[in-house]
């Protein structure tokens, strides 16, 4: 029984802002299904109430002091499109979700 | 073709004795990089003019001022995911075509201050996702020991550059084994410092809780010198340890009497590991025993869950880190997109390779609503168990010894159609990233004419003991001095 | 006109009175021209890392 099929891959692809051709989506679904099958062994493992490793790290803080920024031309130097002041992008189209 | 370069320590002696100049060393490195390019493809770009200028400045200083560090005037290479001001930083990806970094990574600033001279950027798996350097938009790098085989990955270019004698020292990044496994496949030393030891500011992030920068070189001594230069607290990296730079090189006394080395029974059980590799690692253990270390058996009971845990956590973090690549501010932008969402989707789909997409999708999936607890959070709990395993094992030992990889270098093309099989070659390396432990691979023998690496894993913060053990091993053996025969 | 139920929503933005940005030391120049106060961190350049204010 496959855990993940083309429709699911396309849904996740949308979340990740990736556009996949149908054959690509199918191939990726097969790959992901194999991988998810492999990681399923974690499900059965009893972690005995161990808290997740990521939680409660201490975050060092920075003093609230302003420092020099990049000059405008350097900030825009790699821009695919700019008007010398801002990065230019295509418009947000009617009906597009903002998620 | 120019002669291969010696170790950084040898070059330092030659420079100090006036037997050579930095300019001559840089010319040799550049010439050898160019001559080997068609066969190895280790470099994605060279910075010849800048390197020559820096070499001239270095030579002008020598004699008038003391050397800035053991690396002063010495040519090195950096993986293509490390930011250098004024240089491309491509991560072997189409999506960063044309991108030039306006800033230096902290690692680069420190190397410059130390007088090291970067001659070029090395090939890698795209965004460091891979174990073979085959997932690169520049084509694969080949193993100098056998051009039909992979040098390992993702820092395969850096490993090949050192193994082929183009530069004595290179830097790579290691998220699941990407420094250590290529070092093992190419017969050199690769060090993954403990998490936080080296600033990640300027390393293009793959998985932020796992990534580390580290050196690849022929000798533990060179790796120690490199670590001393680049380590130390960095206010620009919140995860960097609040400690000064290490002083590992001066602590290499060659003496390891009394050090206890633990052999994890799960790793040496041999299941899934090439018997020739196990044999070479066992002989390596006996050599350390002859040098004065004591061996004992330990257990890491959750070893079998490490790869699954790794691939859930690293892909989740990668999906977040790679969200910045959207065609807005830099890199490749899809042409003629009618709207913003189309621009994002097409820029990313056209720019990312198959393996990167695979991992972004998996990571997005495990973080998505309904799956977060079952996958990501569960993996983080297993990670806590792995940390406990290592703490307990290292309570009675100074270091653990196990294979670096379950095999020697595999043929190019053998694994690319089977991602899961490729992932399984990380079985011995991922735990050190998940636990944040320092870990090092050093050559311990050969199997079928191909290098075998053994891995030392240490206590948090204790790179020094690993380097001491490796250095003691290298004073008694010569595997690290063997060089591949490259056809002229 | 009876039978209508009034529902009022409030969307509140709180502008923090800081000198520098949340994740980097760029100045908070509210109302300044675009992109005058940017750096590798807030441009999300490859390799940049946030440091919390």
Q: What is the pLDDT of residue B402?
A: 96
Beta strands in B93-207 (DSSP E): 117-122, 169-174, 189-192
pLDDT at A1: 56
Q: What is the pLDDT of residues A22-77, one digit of tens each?
A: 999 999 999 999 888 888 888 888 888 777 877 657 889 999 999 999 999 999 99
Span B121-163, pLDDT tens digits = 999 999 999 999 999 999 999 999 999 999 999 999 999 999 9
Any domain includes C35:
yes
Q: Is residue C51 part of a domain?
A: yes
Residue B219 has pLDDT above 70, yes or no: yes
CA–CA separation, B144 vs B229, rounded Å? 28
Handedness of CA B377, B205, B406, B354 (dihedral sign): positive
Catalytic residues of B: 79, 154, 178
Subunits adjacent to chain B (3 or more Cβ pairs under 8 Å) = A, C
* A-chain residues near B434 (CB < 8 A): 53
- Could you say which residues from 199 to 218 on chain B have a Cβ atom under 8 Å away from some Cβ of chain A? 209
pLDDT of A98 reads 55
Asked if residue C5 is part of any domain, the answer here is no
Query: Which among A84, A7, A75, A38 has a CA at the least distance from the CA of B307?
Result: A38
Specify if C6 maps to a domain: no
Q: Which of A4, A12, A90 lies nearest to residue B343, judging by beta carbons?
A: A90
CA angle B69, B71, B73 (to 5 degrees): 105
Residue B270 confidence (pLDDT) above 70: no
In a domain, residue A69? The reply is no
- CA distances to A86, B105, B336 from A78, rounded to whole Å, are 12, 18, 19
Domain boundaries, position A19: 6-43
Please indicate, yes or no, if residue C2 is contained in any of the structural domains: no
ipTM: 0.94
Residue of C49, C52, C53 for testing the chain B interface, max B β-carbons within 10 Å: C49
Q: Which domain holds residue C28?
A: 16-53
Q: Do B326 and A17 touch (CB under 8 A)?
A: yes
Mean pLDDT of chain B: 96
| Number of structural domains found in chain C | 1
Q: Is C4 a domain residue? A: no
Assign 3-state DSSP to chain C and report helix, strand, coil percentages, each to 5.
Answer: 0, 5, 95
Query: B358 and A31: CB-CB below 8 Å?
Result: yes
A99: pLDDT strictly greater than 60? no
* Fold observed for domain B8-263+394-481: Amidase signature (AS) enzymes (3.90.1300)
Q: Whole-angstrom Cα distance, residue A32 to residue B361? A: 8
When divided into structural domains, chain A yields a total of 1
pLDDT (0 to 100) of residue B2: 80
Residue C9 lies in a domain: no
Q: How far is the C-alpha of B125 from the C-alpha of B134, rounded, in Å?
A: 6
pTM score of the predicted model:
0.96
* Contacts with B284 (C-beta within 8 Å, 6 or more apart), sequence order: B401, B444, B445, B454, B473
Q: What is the CATH number of the domain that holds A12?
A: 1.10.20
pLDDT at residue B472 greater than cutoff 70: yes
Q: In chain B, what residues touch C24 (CB-CB under 8 Å)? A: none
Q: Please report whether residue C8 resides in a domain.
A: no
pLDDT for the residue B98: 95
Altogether, the residues listed in chain A come to a count of 99
For residue B253, pLDDT over 90 is answered with no
In this prediction, residue B338 carries a pLDDT of 93
Q: Is residue A33 part of a domain?
A: yes
């Amino acid at each position: 029984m496959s855990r993940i099929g083309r429709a699911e891959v396309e849904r996740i692809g949308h979340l990740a802002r990736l556009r996949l051709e149908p054959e690509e989506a199918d191939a990726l679904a097969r790959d992901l299904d194999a991988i998810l099958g492999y990681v399923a062994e974690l499900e059965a493992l009893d972690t005995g109430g161990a808290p997740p490793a990521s939680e409660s790290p201490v975050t060092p803080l920075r003093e609230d002091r302003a420092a020099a920024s990049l000059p405008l031309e350097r900030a825009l130097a790699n821009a695919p499109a700019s008007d010398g002041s801002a990065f230019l992008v295509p418009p947000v189209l009617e009906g597009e979700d903002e998620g | 073709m120019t002669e291969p370069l010696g170790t950084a320590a040898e070059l330092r002696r030659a420079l100090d004795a006036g037997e050579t100049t930095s300019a001559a060393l840089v010319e040799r490195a550049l010439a050898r990089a160019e001559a080997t390019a068609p066969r190895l493809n280790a470099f994605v770009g060279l910075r010849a003019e800048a390197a020559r200028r820096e070499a001239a400045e270095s030579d002008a200083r020598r004699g008038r001022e003391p050397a800035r560090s053991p690396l002063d005037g010495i040519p090195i290479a950096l993986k293509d995911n490390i930011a250098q001001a004024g240089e491309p930083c491509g991560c072997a990806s189409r999506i960063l075509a044309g991108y030039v970094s306006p800033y230096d990574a902290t690692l680069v600033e420190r190397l410059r201050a130390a007088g090291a001279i970067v001659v070029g950027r090395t090939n890698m798996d795209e965004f460091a996702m891979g174990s073979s350097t085959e997932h690169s938009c520049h084509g694969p790098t080949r193993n100098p020991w056998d051009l039909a085989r992979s040098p390992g990955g993702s820092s395969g270019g850096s490993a090949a550059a050192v193994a082929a004698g183009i530069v004595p020292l290179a830097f790579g990044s290691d998220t699941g084994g990407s420094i250590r496994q290529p070092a093992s496949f190419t017969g050199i030393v690769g060090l993954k410092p403990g998490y936080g030891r080296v600033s990640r500011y300027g390393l293009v992030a793959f998985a932020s809780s796992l990534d580390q920068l580290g050196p690849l070189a022929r000798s533990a001594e060179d790796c120690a010198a490199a670590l001393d230069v680049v380590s130390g607290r960095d206010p620009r990296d919140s995860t960097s340890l609040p400690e000064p730079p290490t002083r590992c090189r001066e602590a290499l006394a060659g003496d390891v009497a009394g050090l206890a080395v633990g052999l994890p029974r799960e790793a040496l059980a041999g299941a899934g590991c090439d018997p020739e590799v196990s044999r070479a690692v066992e002989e390596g253990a006996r050599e350390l025993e002859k040098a004065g270390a004591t061996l004992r058996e330990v257990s890491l009971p959750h070893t079998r869950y490490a790869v699954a845990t790794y691939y859930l956590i690293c892909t989740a973090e990668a999906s977040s880190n790679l969200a910045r690549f959207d065609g807005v501010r830099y890199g490749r932008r899809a042409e003629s997109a009618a709207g913003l969402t189309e621009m994002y989707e097409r820029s990313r789909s056209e720019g990312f390779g198959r393996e990167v997409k695979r991992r972004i999708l998996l990571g997005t999936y495990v973080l998505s609503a309904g799956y977060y607890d079952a996958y990501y959070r569960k993996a983080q709990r297993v990670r806590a168990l792995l940390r406990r395993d290592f703490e307990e094992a290292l309570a009675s030992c100074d270091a653990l010894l196990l294979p670096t990889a379950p095999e020697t270098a595999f043929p190019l093309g053998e694994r690319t159609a089977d991602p899961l099989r490729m992932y399984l070659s990380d079985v011995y390396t991922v735990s050190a990233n998940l636990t944040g432990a320092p870990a090092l691979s050093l050559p311990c023998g050969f199997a079928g004419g191909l290098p075998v690496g053994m891995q030392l894993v240490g206590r948090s913060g204790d790179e020094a003991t690993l380097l001491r053990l490796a250095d003691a091993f290298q004073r008694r053996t010569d595997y690290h001095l063997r060089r591949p025969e490259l056809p002229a | 006109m009876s039978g209508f139920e009034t529902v009022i929503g409030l969307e509140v933005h709180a502008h923090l009175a800081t000198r520098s940005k949340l994740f980097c030391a760029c100045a908070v120049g509210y109302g300044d021209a675009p992109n005058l106060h940017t750096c590798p961190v807030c441009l999300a350049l490859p390799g940049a890392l946030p440091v919390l204010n």
